[in-house]
Structure 1
Amino acid sequence: MNSVITFFQNGGSFMYPIALVLVVGLALAIERWVFLTVAKGSNRRTFDRILPMLRKKDYAGVIDLARSSKAPIGRIVASGVARMQQTPRRDEIEYAMEEGVMEAVPRLEKRTPYLATLANIATLLGLLGTIMGLIAAFTAVANADPSEKASLLSQSISVAMNTTAFGLMSAIPLLLIHAMLQNKTTEIVDSLEMAGVKCLNIMSSTNSFAARTRQADGAK
């Protein structure tokens, strides 16, 4: 613990903004991870409830469930059901559901790109601290007494190296977390599209069966 404190103190003033960037990035990462985990579970539970309703042609129940649930899959399927009640064409229903997916994606991707930006900021702050430390080192060598040059040079080099190290130590985890969140978001979006296709197939088969039934009744 003492070595960590000493490392931070020897890094100079640029250690504080880098630490702030790291704290903000970690808080953002935790919020996004919790949000995506909750969204994934909510989509799964809602989808498991919607499928039986679609097979039973309980379209009113699907719409009511979508209104009471915050899961994106509910709104996506409800959009398809609403369009199906207006037109039996599969492509029209598919367009309505794709629109629902496009509305859900920005909410899932919200704030995640900031992690990459914060990682870059941490790296740049570390480099800036390095430059300032080296400037201080050359100034110390040029203006200080010969007996003090070694000490001042050592302090300035410490500032330069510690800020670079801390900037990289902050940026690398943030980049890794950013990649993990992007992958998690992609998995959720893919699951939404797959669930939408399954629901669309059920609705299309129901419509086709109903259309054939009406044609047979008309022929009689």
Structure 2
Amino acid sequence: MDLLDALVAGGWLMLPLLGCSLVATVIVIERLWTLRARRIAPLGLGQEVCTLIRQGPVNLYWLESHSPLGGVMAAGLRNARLGHDQVRGRLQEAATAVIHDMERFLSPLGTIAAITPLLGLLGTVLGMIEVFAVIVSAGGAERSADLAGGISQALVTTAAGLTVAIPALMFHRYFQRRVEDITVRMEEQAGLLVEFLAHHQGGIALAEQPAADTSPAAERA
């Protein structure tokens, strides 16, 4: 049975299952590209920012455009003069926004993983109802084609639902774990900055420079 025959045999329920499959595929590809740890929370950024603070003005424009973690640290540095608690509060607020962005589309993916087996089960029930309707009808024993159609719908929709649900559930759990890992990395590096600021005796020099001058070398000038 090829794909077209399977779609026909499964009946109208194959349309929402196919739609769920396409949506899940798009979400998985987008999240695989977006949830890259080196893009969101590059290793060593916290130590680099501490070094820049020692050497001179910290270019907040460069830091914000560097990565989401850089944006979190820039939010904390803007409130460095207001005290340790304010820095922690702004870091937490900015990190919450980044985590929210990382969790984007995970809820729809989890929903797809949950409802597609139910759609397959619904197809199974409808197919079996059709089978029993043929059996109890007059001359049902001779209507083998109708019996086969009902059984085919029952089997195809169940298989299709599980085929969509299993990968969707696996990727949903995988992305949840990746978000947790990246969050831990962000907390560790932001913690370095908080500890450094708590022991830093001098004032924090900040600078806003245009996009043409956003390299780390500009921070040391």
Q: Same fold (TM over 0.5)?
A: yes
Matched with 1:73 is: 69
- Quick one: which of 122, 129, 134 aligns to 1:128? 122
Q: Contact (CA 8 Å) 1:54, 1:199: kept in 2 or not? A: no
Q: Contact (CA 8 Å) 2:120, 2:160: kept in 1 or not? A: yes
Q: Distance in 1 between matches of 2:148 and 2:125?
A: 15
TM-superposed CA distance for 1:147, in Å, is: 5.0
TM-superposed CA distance for 1:5, in Å, is: 4.4
Matched with 2:208 is: none
Q: Distance in 2 between matches of 1:112 and 1:170?
A: 15
RMSD: 2.3
Alpha-carbon spacing, 1:65–1:46, altered in 2? closer, same or farther (3 Å): farther
TM-superposed CA distance for 1:177, in Å, is: 0.5
Matched with 1:58 is: 57
Q: Contact (CA 8 Å) 1:127, 1:163: kept in 2 or not? A: yes
**Structure number, greater radius of gyration:** 1
Q: Distance in 2 between matches of 1:10 and 1:47?
A: 56
Alpha-carbon spacing, 1:16–1:70, altered in 2? closer, same or farther (3 Å): farther
Deviations 1:111-165 (A, max 9, x none): 1111110122211211111111111111111225245233322221111111111
Q: Distance in 2 between matches of 1:113 and 1:28?
A: 10
- Quick one: which of 84, 89, 95 aligns to 2:89? 95
Matched with 2:155 is: 161
Question: Is the partner of 2:35 in helix, strand or coil?
Answer: helix
Q: Distance in 2 between matches of 1:199 and 1:170?
A: 44
TM-superposed CA distance for 1:6, in Å, is: 3.8
Aligned residues: 202
Identity of aligned residues (%): 26
TM-superposed CA distance for 1:42, in Å, is: 4.6
TM-score normalised over the length of structure 1: 0.82
Matched with 2:190 is: 196
Q: Give matches, 1:131-150, under 5 Å.
A: 131-146=125-140, 148-150=142-144
- Quick one: which of 161, 164, 172 aligns to 1:170? 164
Question: Partner letter of residue 107 of structure 1?
Answer: D
Kindly indicate whether structure 1 or structure 2 has the higher relative contact order, using CA contacts under 8 Å at least 6 residues apart.
2
TM-superposed CA distance for 1:81, in Å, is: 1.3
Q: Contact (CA 8 Å) 2:117, 2:162: kept in 1 or not? A: yes
Question: Is the partner of 1:110 in helix, strand or coil?
Answer: coil
Q: Distance in 1 between matches of 2:171 and 2:189?
A: 27
Larger helix fraction of residues: 1
- Quick one: which of 41, 44, 47 aligns to 1:43? 41
